[in-house]
Amino acid sequence: MPGTAGRFGNIARHNNKPPTAPGKRGTSLASRSELSAFLQDVERRAFRQALFAVRDEEAALDIVQDAMLRLAERYGDRPAVELAPLFQRILQNAIRDWYRRQRVRSLWTTLLSSLSPGREDEEHDPLETLRANPGSNSEDHPAERLERAQVIEIINEEVAKLPSRQRQAFLLRYWEELDVAETARAMGCSEGSVKTHCSRAAHALAAALKARGITL
């Protein structure tokens, strides 16, 4: 497993919860040495598991590191016998989160590539059109993944510049994946206002990307 020693070797030592109290039903809490030994034992298997799932070495490393940190920080004071099932649950959640982020970010680029900067239709929510035509599921080449990651970073920067209500509507609809009615309830406004905010946000982002010379 590449790069694990530097990335994972000190995770257990950063856990500041002293395992002094007895566990449930007489089980003893994991010591720092037991937690460290568990992480060292599981890291290679976890990396292979994540790599099979996401087919991206760097992403798999990040997923495993995140799962190990969560285990050490949140559950380092649990009995040693509970570490394995807890870690597997955390790892699977991290893998699902990664896929969700990839799906949402792919949706962002598809959404913005379908818009032309200019006068927006404020009664139209662009996401509703994309639901009917989600695009290709083909795998990207590494260079395409890198390019997409760079574009997503720029989109993130531009999202931060949006007016607060536009940004809130955009993130609720296209990141949290709430529907129009759910977004309206969360924002305390009408469904028509949600569509207006989303339309203005999407077109503003498309214009900002064009101004930066980016063609999706």
pLDDT digits (tens, 9 = 90+) for 102-130: 777 666 666 666 665 444 555 555 555 54
Stretch 164-170: mean pLDDT, rounded?
90
How many Cα atoms are found within 13 Å in the side-chain-facing hemisphere of 194? Answer: 22
User: Where in the sequence of the chain do the CATH 1.10.10.10 domains occur?
Assistant: 114-211
For domain 114-211, the CATH class is: mainly alpha
| Segment 49-106, tens digit of pLDDT | 888 888 888 889 999 999 999 999 888 788 888 888 899 999 988 988 888 777 776 6
How distant, in Å, are the alpha carbons of 55, 64, 104 from that of 45?
15, 10, 28
Phi and psi at residue 22, to the nearest 5°: -70, 150
User: Where in the sequence of the chain do the CATH 1.10.1740 domains occur?
Assistant: 4-100
Residue 127: predicted pLDDT: 54
Indicate yes or no: pTM above 0.95.
no
Give residue for tokens 């994540």: 50
How distant, in Å, are the alpha carbons of 7, 98, 163, 194, 198 from that of 183?
39, 23, 17, 7, 10
Report the share of the chain in percent with pLDDT over 70: 64
Helix axes 180-187, 164-174, angle to 10 degrees: 140
* Residues with Cβ within 8 Å of residue 200, at least 6 apart in sequence: 120, 122, 166
For domain 4-100, the CATH class is: mainly alpha
How distant, in Å, are the alpha carbons of 3, 14, 28, 65, 136 from that of 19?
29, 13, 8, 22, 50
